[in-house]
Structure 1
């Protein structure tokens, strides 16, 4: 919808054509998890595929193919009404042939160039994330204080990068981050790669990234941790054959010098590798089938995870879904399907159904 907003009595659209759009999504359902701390759990879910949110985005035509752009989103839990700060907010400039430059709290290059080849970064959504979303394929974390460039597409090739400031006086590199990525598409084939580097992740409250969750030293435990140096990279590719798309990915997240954020205890450095193969099949114009297998290893442990999803479109903006995820960990490692608390043992099974509406 078009919008004219008055500033000191002068309509903004007196200078150039502007547009502002209100949009959003609500995702909620019911889930059964067989093992949460040793007990079965039944719960009303929120955001099993996509986190619920509302947003405003808009642009102002500056002439010559240039434009000013903005995006403002806010997440929330449909089941409780709780606000969740897990969506982007930025303002910037763009040009048709030069790309865009934006400033704010934004998705990093792993989200833009690697995650689309994973099922969690596309159809599968939140519950299909790799262990503890260690590679950020499900964009559990956004980069604060960030400056981001996204290129235009040149012959099927696009690229981009992000730098997130620490905002700390005298501590330029303490909780700062940068990332780069690229994508190439030709016909039914696509490939992408991305890299993210953090210094002092979670060390400060106002830096680039918050703390992250890692497997703990005790059997079945997870901890909230700061990390003195984190390097994550991922590569993926996909190929479409008619109504079927096959994709494969590899990612590696290396966490050097982690510290328990609650106790201050030093933890062993940990590298996690994720191998995924997934497929999506459009059975009919209204029915989409998706499945994946992921193998994760690191720190002397490993995890197997398989998932299936059926999505049915009721209309242009409303769909219902059924999905199941099963994870099996090696001995003494925590089984923990994303969006759930850890199991008491090596196995965890989740079955969920829900409804999603976009506006």
Structure 2
């Protein structure tokens, strides 16, 4: 009898989620697993090879939705990153709760994606996004801020509100606001946060148009991002450079043109007053594939796998652009792309601190993605990066080669 009662109790507990689904709540388990065999060869140093997913493309999560009637939905998402072949696990990605409406769009509260990441360009213009052949961080070409406002692998903003409109006649808009004024959100104390005391009300806005004209598809997008520096960041920058740090601004524009199986993709970004405390003068660890410093390469802390070539000089201006093309033959996409990061010279008022000289980084990438099915694919390619950094000793530019093959499965 006790065994029967226990079995009934267990069956009752397991039936609770099923009842919730029947009442209108739907929970979907989703994810992606990816592993690469990648080699990063920086000129003048030993090549480093690993089987891993350092760009954190692998993830798992739950998508929650409940139909509230009258065209209104309750929404939620929980997502964590993984690194097959590595030791990193359960790194937070998206974590939010919100409401959606058929007529007005979606409103999310929590840890959300940057508008520069998934809406207006960003990863949408790079087929190799979140792999070692990506256009973020180590390859330059796109801003990849550690505070989440860029389009890198950690492009998630904490303590934020995001709105996405419905598509009307091909047009849509998105906006993000970080209203928090908590010390723990100060980017000086934690580079992966933005805002902080007197640095709140950071925001992003974006707009795009998508249309199909006979066999020609057109996607045009633009965005603006503002990272208001906290008073702690301003004080720290003044103490270290003798200069005043202004709020960071990023302007972006680009387009994707498709003709049947051929696509041409491009994006341009202009950065003003790059924030060194998690902003455009920084880079996420995933994007850098581990810090690589030429200051003292004998130290273990300086023997990383890559470079952070998308970063601007602290407090300075700069430009980033990418141009690419791909052609799909059956289940195979052939890809070629390249571009440049240009960090302009920045003058400091501290007589004991040398000015930051300009730095140019150029990149070309060629490769292929082959779909084995709707959910599984193979990819591989080669990337070459040329670095012209006037802050380094003469003849030390640390150009690099990247070779990679990988496999990916969605579920």
Mapped partners of 2:182, 2:373: distance in 1: 49
Cα contact 1:91–1:104 (8 A) shared by 2: yes
Which is greater in Rg?
Answer: 2
Mapped partners of 1:73, 1:45: distance in 2: 19
Mapped partners of 1:55, 1:253: distance in 2: 33
Counterparts in 2 of 1:44 and 1:333: CA distance versus 1, 3 Å? farther
Paired position in structure 1 for 2:32: 25
Cα contact 2:42–2:398 (8 A) shared by 1: no
Once the two structures are overlaid, the 10-residue window that deviates more, 318-327 or 148-157, is: 318-327
Mapped partners of 1:174, 1:183: distance in 2: 28
Residue 349 (str. 1) matches residue 395 (str. 2): no
Cα contact 2:137–2:152 (8 A) shared by 1: no
Higher strand residue share: 1
- Compute the displacement of 1:116 (Å): 4.9
Which of 26, 40, 51 matches 2:47?
40
Residue 282 (str. 1) matches residue 328 (str. 2): yes
Mapped partners of 2:82, 2:16: distance in 1: 30
Mapped partners of 1:242, 1:85: distance in 2: 38
Counterparts in 2 of 1:27 and 1:47: CA distance versus 1, 3 Å? farther
Counterparts in 2 of 1:320 and 1:256: CA distance versus 1, 3 Å? closer
Which of 120, 144, 165 matches 2:179?
165
Paired position in structure 2 for 1:307: 365
Q: Secondary structure at the match of 1:258?
A: coil
Q: Secondary structure at the match of 1:88?
A: strand
Q: Secondary structure at the match of 2:122?
A: helix
Which of 149, 159, 162 matches 1:145?
159
Paired position in structure 1 for 2:135: 129
Aligned length: 316
Mapped partners of 1:63, 1:268: distance in 2: 50
Instruction: Spell out the pairing of 1:205-216 with structure 2 (5 A cutoff).
Output: none
Q: Secondary structure at the match of 1:110?
A: helix
Cα contact 2:52–2:86 (8 A) shared by 1: no
For structure 2, list consecutive stretches of 5 or more residues without a partner in the other structure. Answer: 1-13, 145-149, 184-194, 234-240, 283-312, 345-357
Which of 100, 103, 115 matches 2:109?
103
| TM-score of the two chains, using structure 2 as the length reference | 0.69
Counterparts in 2 of 1:308 and 1:125: CA distance versus 1, 3 Å? farther
Paired position in structure 1 for 2:352: none
Mapped partners of 1:178, 1:316: distance in 2: 36
Which of 216, 223, 229 matches 1:200?
229
Q: What do residues 121-154 of structure 1 show as CA deviations (whole Å, max 9, x unaligned)?
A: x444443224455252234331100111100010
Higher helix residue share: 2
Cα contact 2:198–2:231 (8 A) shared by 1: no
Q: Secondary structure at the match of 1:113?
A: coil
- Compute the displacement of 1:304 (Å): 0.8
| TM-score of the two chains, using structure 1 as the length reference | 0.79
Counterparts in 2 of 1:349 and 1:97: CA distance versus 1, 3 Å? same
Mapped partners of 2:364, 2:333: distance in 1: 17
Instruction: Spell out the pairing of 1:6-17 with structure 2 (5 A cutoff).
Output: 6=16, 11-13=19-21, 16-17=23-24
Cα contact 1:57–1:70 (8 A) shared by 2: yes
Paired position in structure 2 for 1:63: 69
Cα contact 1:46–1:78 (8 A) shared by 2: yes
Cα contact 1:175–1:203 (8 A) shared by 2: no
Which of 301, 320, 323 matches 2:381?
323
Q: What do residues 9-60 of structure 1 show as CA deviations (whole Å, max 9, x unaligned)?
A: x95457x412110010011121111117722111112155x61110100200
Paired position in structure 2 for 1:246: 264
Cα contact 1:130–1:296 (8 A) shared by 2: no
